[in-house]
Chain A
Amino acid sequence: MLELVEISKEFRTGFLGKNVKQAVLDATLCVDRGEIVGLIGESGCGKSTLGRIAVKLLMPSSGRIILDGVDVTDMPEKRFREFRRQVQIIFQHPETALDPQYTLLESILESFNKIGIPESEQKDMLLDISEEVNLPLDIIDRHPNQVSGGEIQRAVLTRVFAFEPKYLILDEPTSMLDVSVQAHILQLLKKKAKQDNVGMLFISHDLEVIRAMCDRVAVMKEGRILEEGDTSKMFLSPKSGYMKQLLVNSD
């Protein structure tokens, strides 16, 4: 289980860091293997910050990150590397997710090399995963600016799935994609979660997507988690006024 316990994060800006912005405040959330947990809220509510903290791309100001019972919060980077493979993140903007100077294939092979997959096995692995994520092999020699957002997102998934992650943080993975491409990617992620027992934290502001994808949902406002529960209950009988307001706005 990936547990985020009483996480707070503040950012200091301005002269000598006098301006304090409290991005996340006492947020507690857990994601179990095979479960998809939605995290919703307006832009700027702190949901992406919490997602980045879960993979230690940002360090929390206070609180603990516990991965399968091991507290990894203050673990040195060298030791944390083996855990980092288990928790991967996918970002919102596909066009900025890959190195623009590399072809899709070079980016994918970079991750294979990082994992230490021998060259003789790389081709078979590429064929396996590209089939799973439906990445057309005739485009992998292209650069990111020569393919569509959906195709980049599939290349990103190929890189990420190679690590065989136990948990995935999905930060608005489909908000920049067309509705039909979005449907392809979402179906793929849902299948992955259930088939390979991958726990997913699905960050989105699109309530329809959250409702279709998630088992549980947490609502965030101004850095705090206001409410959490089963998706169906949250959508049918929300307790917080804020969730009710979000539901009205999404109609």
Chain B
Amino acid sequence: MSQGGLLVVRGLSVAFKTQKGTVQAIDGIDLDLNENETLAIVGESGCGKSVLGHAIMRLLDDIAVVRGSVLFRDKEVYEMETTALLNLRGGLISLVPQSPSSSFNPVIKIGKQIEELIEKAGKEKGIGARKRAVEYLSMAGFSQPEQIYESYPHRLSGGMCERALIAMALSVEPELVIADEPTKGLDALSRKNILGMLHKLAKDASMIMITHDLKAAETCGRIAVMYSGEIVEEGPTGIVLNNPRHVYTKGLIDAQPSRGMKPIKGRHNLFSHNALGCRFKERCDAASSECSNHPLLNIVEDCRKVRCCHA
């Protein structure tokens, strides 16, 4: 039976077994993404946002214990055969990975790598694939796309590599783009250009932007704030950032240099999922006895969900 949305994630949990115990990277995530919708996932390092992106594409290592369901166009990703899965990755869903400089194969020219993906996705072949690769490099803002096509990755700066990666991811016209930290470490002008270009090229696709940069998140329609493997607040970006209801969201906003650079007290603990009750309570000034019960992600107003008993 159809559940609507392009992507429906239900109860998705991922655990990694380590020498020091099990790390529950993400825990019971529910997400819905419609066509042409853009969603930002924000949170501190280690909150599980990149694991969530990889889990949606079933890209996690075998040591990851995954539970729950990921439906893409009503098909369960975790029940797909290899052929369907390969068609999904780099065809229907494209990933723009973190660390642009180390994401390309260093011994193959940029253009050849884009061309290979286009051919594998069955979009074009031979000269057609080459033309499409050059066209997308041009759309990604390169004034001399032929030159970039012939370049090896080490000749490009971080910002240029990021643009080439975005061109590659979008050259197959995916239905969903997952962009993992597309603006990390970039200067203001490059960040503005990358975000503008990403939204322009992905105008016919849906997008999940994983970021810790709240300014980048502002360019998305919806936002989900993650802490310790859980979504703690979700809703329309403008409303959430202008009127945050969870103490953690407020903390992230106030930690920005333009908002007084107030650090959130304490530090994120990878094993905080083992604690009873609210996972943020050790760092929360508003914590009370009620916080010893694990809070649910409740709807507090239209399209707005918060996981806090004080919200």
Contact = CB atoms under 8 A, between A and B. Distances in A.
Given A148-B45, A180-B251, A180-B264, A209 B157 contact: no
Given A43-B158, A181-B263, 6 more contacts: A43-B186, A136-B267, A180-B255, A183-B255, A183-B263, A205-B187
Given A43-B158, A148-B46, A182 B255 contact: yes
A149 B257 contact: no
B241 to A, nearest CB: 13
A113 interface: no
A207 interface: yes
Interface stretch (A81-89, A122-130, A159-167, A171-179): A171-179
- 10 A-B pairs with the lowest CB-CB distances in the bound complex, closest first: A205-B187, A212-B257, A183-B263, A183-B255, A208-B257, A184-B263, A250-B188, A180-B255, A180-B264, A183-B261
A226 interface: no
Contacts of A184: 263
6 contacts: A43-B159, A136-B267, A150-B45, A184-B263, A186-B257, A213-B257
A178 B267 contact: no
Contacts of B255: 179-180, 182-183
A178 B212 contact: yes
Contacts of A149: 45
A217 to B, nearest CB: 14
A205 B186 CA distance: 8
B46 A205 contact: no
Interface in B168-190: 184-190
A42 interface: yes
A246 B188 contact: yes
Contact of B257 (A44, A176, A177, A206): A206
A29 B212 CA distance: 33
Interface string A42-69: 1110000000000000000000000000
B157 A208 contact: no
A187 interface: yes
Interface residues of A, number: 32
A198 B212 CA distance: 30
B269 to A, nearest CB: 10
A33 interface: no
Contact of A179 (B46, B159, B214): B214
Interface size class of B (residues with CB under 8 A): 20 to 34
A249 B191 CA distance: 9
A211 interface: yes
A111 interface: no
Given A178-B45, A183-B262, A207 B185 contact: no
A186 B262 CA distance: 10
Contact of B256 (A172, A175, A179, A250): A179
Nearest to B43: A178
Q: Chain B at the A interface: mostly helix, strand, loop or mixed?
A: loop
Contacts of A211: 257-258
A92 interface: yes
A42 to B, nearest CB: 5
B252 A179 contact: yes
A65 to B, nearest CB: 26
B116 interface: no
Contacts of B189: 42, 246, 249
Most buried by B among A42, A44, A179: A179
B124 interface: no
Interface in A120-151: 136, 148-150
A208 B44 contact: no
Contacts of A183: 255-257, 261-264
A224 to B, nearest CB: 17
Nearest to B46: A148
A42 B252 CA distance: 26
A147 to B, nearest CB: 11
Interface in A209-251: 209, 211-213, 246, 249-250
Contacts of A136: 267
Most buried by A among B158, B189, B262: B189
Contacts of A148: 45-46
B17 interface: no
A176 B252 contact: no
B17 to A, nearest CB: 16
Nearest to A213: B257
A235 to B, nearest CB: 11
A149 B255 CA distance: 17
Interface in B28-52: 44-46
Contacts of B186: 43, 205
Given A206-B257, A209-B257, A180 B188 contact: no
